[in-house]
Structure 1
Amino acid sequence: MKKSYKLDEIDCANCARELQDGLAKLDGVEKVSVNFMTQKLTLEADDDRFDEVLQRVVDYTADVEPDCEILL
């Protein structure tokens, strides 16, 4: 499954790249993209585990970029 989400308050392109690199290493993430210009996160994960993987992505983002929120 592939879904896109709006990001609120991603500070810079470097922060977006670092966030993307970290998210790509999470268990269950098949593909992830963080676009600073459009303030968008696109996540691809297995349909059966998507909600679980999404929660990991949300938690990781809150830890690494506390000002950034994924608008679900």
Structure 2
Amino acid sequence: MGPHFPRQIFVYKREKIFIFNSRGDYNPEGVIMEFCSCIKKLNLTHKEIVDYLNVICLYLQEEEEADYGDTIK
């Protein structure tokens, strides 16, 4: 995907990966809900949860300002 496509995020821990289906530009609530599932699935520690939440917050702020056009949704 190039710069004109929405970014997707993932979490990686000990050879396990959790890929988010929701996109921050279109469904930020979905990203947060998926992160809650990710916490349990990857058994994240308190520190990992806080660290990933900070990164997700930055991602959502950047995606809020992005304009990918109406046709991509």
Quickly name the TM-score band, shorter chain normalised: 0.3 to 0.5
Structure (1 or 2) with the greater helix fraction: 2
Structure with larger Rg: 2
Structure (1 or 2) with the greater strand fraction: 1
TM-score for both structures, normalised by structure 1: 0.41
